[in-house]
Chains A and B, each alone.
Chain A
Amino acid sequence: MITLAFATRKKLYKVEGLKTSALTPKLIEMGLYPGQEVMCMFVAPFGDPMAVNVGGYLLSLRKEEADLVLLQEESVNKIKEEK
């Protein structure tokens, strides 16, 4: 299973769960609860931090923070490009 830190850009995922850490409550409160749809939008220069669309808003988080978020893959064809 991959974590959010290794998510492919512009690909839709669902959050599977969170690794236990001091940050778990904060991550959940920011909307990264199991079942939430997430998509990595862009990454800062030097590869870290990253900006993730979390259920409709843009959240920036560090790689080590994103690494706490476990992902389940969503079928890619569900993504509809909005024009």
Chain B
Amino acid sequence: MRLKIALVGNPNTGKSSLFNALTGLKQHVGNFPGVTVDKKSGVLKLASKEVELIDLPGTYSIYPRSKDEEVVYDILNNPQHPDYPDKICVIVDTSNLERNLLLFTQVYDLGLPTILVLNMSDVAHRKGIRFNEEAFLKEYPEVTIIATNARIGMGLDRLKTAIFNPSIPPKRSHKELLPKEETKQQVTDTEKRYSTIKEVLQKVVVQEKNNKVTPRTSWIDRLVVHPFFGYGIFLVVLFVLFQLIFSLASYPMDWIDGFFGSIATYFTELLPKGLLTDLFVQGILPGIGGVVIFLPQICLLFFFISLLEETGYMARVVFIMDRLMRPFGLNGKSVVPLISSAACAIPGIMSSRTITNWKERLITIMVAPLISCSARIPVFTLLIALVIPSKKVLSIFNLQGITFFGLYALGLVSALIFSLLLKRIISTNEPSVLLLELPVYKLPRWKNVGINVVEKARVFLVGAGKIIIAISIVLWALGTFGPENRRKDAFSKITPPQNNALAKSNYEKEVRAVNYENSYIGILGKSIEPIITPLGYDWKIGISLLTSFAAREVFVGSMATIYSVEDDGSTQQTLMQKLKSEKRKDGHPVYSLATGLSLMVFYVYAMQCMATFAVVKRETNSWKWPFIQLFALGGIAYLTSWVTYLLFS
């Protein structure tokens, strides 16, 4: 059995940096059973020995005030718990000992072998704080003290050795923790501990400069919380962030697209024709491709988010946005998830973990898909080009541009309105709190940023990938199989090929279209026609709506198949011509302004994205919320599209 070593500490003490420094990429991220709280563990080796390192959620006290913190209490209060440690490292911020030692004294009383890690020794040094280890050992004799600076890797070897040193069984006795609900006793206990800590610190710490509470504010803070410059800087940061994400992500996304396209062609030629090849080439490969295609945006977003978090700027964003978000039942911390969703809802929803209040977290997750993501762009572009004339309004604005902007605004406003509604619907007894430490500004640690990006990518690939691939295979099967006699009938109606190449390729396209039309998904699309006729759609749009549950941009490809247009780089142009000339039975064009707008509105609301669905399942740890979201947003999409169609026809 490997020994288990738990890392505990307040937030912002560099605990995760230490964990990263010790384990590197040899760490495993999962959930603690039954809750969506990251459980990070990793194996640490020294010579031939191995221990398991567990990074427990950051907390200010052993007594839990949120779901995340409850994990810490549940583990440390129960020696039978599978994660109950054999040794504990308490990581403290040396520049703020008083508050940090509260958790230390609580942990010390558990009676386990304890290591006190005095981290951020550089900041403490700058503040003129001198820590007298001998004096401290007189008060807490059974503790091993290690001073570290995780940023430059100072003290890591000593910490490693201390972790591996066989522990002498502690002489002090194990004190039971107070019950979770006994908050009154906990308050008394905390007050007592603080007065002890103050006495201890007087003996242990020499503070050369008197700078405990000074009226000095850093110039950065004066700027970033300024009523005018604060929001200005935030907007500039956002602008640069999105510029970078969209300009940088498009390259790897094209490569991934091209790569999966070419290996699909390769395998089609290599493997014998048959159902299994089809399953592999048209079902599984695009499924995997559909997962991987999200990675560039996810990685870039998390790169920038962790960069901003590392520096301490993110806490200031929360600070200036909290008041604006609160009326909607959201929290300042909802800003990052919602903004990320403008690129892609997946990283947005994944980053909602920082919101400790469950209700606020849930509302954020539920409305995140309403913020228009990049996958809607191809759909909107096609539809706008199709039905909105490119003319000037008020001689400067382009009508198409206004429509595009309007769709984004509609998504954002709806997200806020739905938040308001959910605020009333979802009940909670957990109070909404901010109480957030504004950490000192620091240069980012690239290793932390890198590990965070890799970790999130891994979580997405493994956690959501399974569901996404499963849904792709189902969609493939529905699009491939169909009743045989129905297909035979349909084939007998199209003219067989002549002996010229053009006619032959046209015939092939037609065969594909007929196949698709008479597949199960095609039949499904036709059978929902009566339901979608009020919205101004025909069965062809119906099929595309169904298939684009895989991802919104599939709409364009699906339309291309149905209208037997070759799906290549020039799809948009050819498809546009086909769509424009498409007539209803009464001779009116199918893609009227009303139908087009109704479709756009549908795509603003409907949760047409299986990856989001999968991520919501993972982040809420239940099937209930993704299904509620799917049906609620679907219903709203239906109603609003219907109203739109009525208004414009």
Contact = CB atoms under 8 A, between A and B. Distances in A.
Given A28-B191, A33-B191, A55 B322 contact: no
Given A33-B194, A37-B212, A41-B215, A55 B433 contact: no
Given A42-B221, A46-B324, A82-B214, A58 B438 contact: yes
A2 B212 CA distance: 23
Contacts of B95: 56
B431 interface: yes
B431 A22 contact: yes
A26 B190 CA distance: 10
B577 interface: no
A24 B213 contact: no
Contacts of A45: 225-227, 230-231, 320, 323
B98 A56 contact: yes
B213 A44 contact: no
Given A39-B215, A51-B225, A65 B435 contact: yes
Interface in B396-448: 431, 433-440
B65 interface: yes
Contact of A30 (B63, B214, B322, B435): B435
A46 B60 CA distance: 29
A22 B186 CA distance: 12
B109 to A, nearest CB: 16
B570 interface: no
A72 interface: no
B498 interface: no
A38 B255 CA distance: 55
A58 to B, nearest CB: 4
A30 B99 contact: yes
A79 B210 CA distance: 10
Contact of A60 (B60, B96, B227, B436): B436
Contacts of A39: 213-215
Interface in B195-223: 209-217, 221-222
A83 to B, nearest CB: 9
B14 to A, nearest CB: 14
A23 B438 CA distance: 19
Nearest to A83: B216
B183 A25 contact: yes
Contacts of A10: 215
A48 B323 contact: yes
A35 B460 CA distance: 47
B645 interface: no
Interface residues of A, number: 41
Contacts of B213: 12, 37-39, 53, 55-56
A67 B440 CA distance: 25
A59 B435 CA distance: 7
B315 interface: yes
Contacts of A80: 210, 214
Contacts of A27: 435
Given A37-B212, A42-B221, A42-B225, A31 B98 contact: yes
A42 B231 CA distance: 16
Nearest to B63: A25
B215 A56 contact: no
Given A44-B322, A45-B227, A49-B322, A55 B99 contact: yes
Given A58-B437, A61-B435, A81 B319 contact: no
A44 B332 CA distance: 12
B297 interface: no
Given A56-B212, A60-B434, A81-B214, A29 B315 contact: no
Contacts of B226: 45
A24 B308 CA distance: 31
A60 B438 contact: yes
Given A30-B435, A42-B225, A45-B231, 19 more contacts: A22-B431, A23-B431, A23-B433, A29-B61, A38-B213, A41-B217, A44-B319, A44-B323, A45-B227, A46-B227, A48-B323, A55-B99, A58-B440, A59-B436, A60-B435, A62-B322, A62-B433, A62-B434, A81-B215
17 contacts: A22-B431, A25-B65, A29-B60, A33-B190, A39-B213, A41-B221, A44-B323, A51-B221, A51-B225, A51-B319, A53-B214, A55-B98, A55-B99, A55-B212, A59-B437, A60-B315, A62-B322
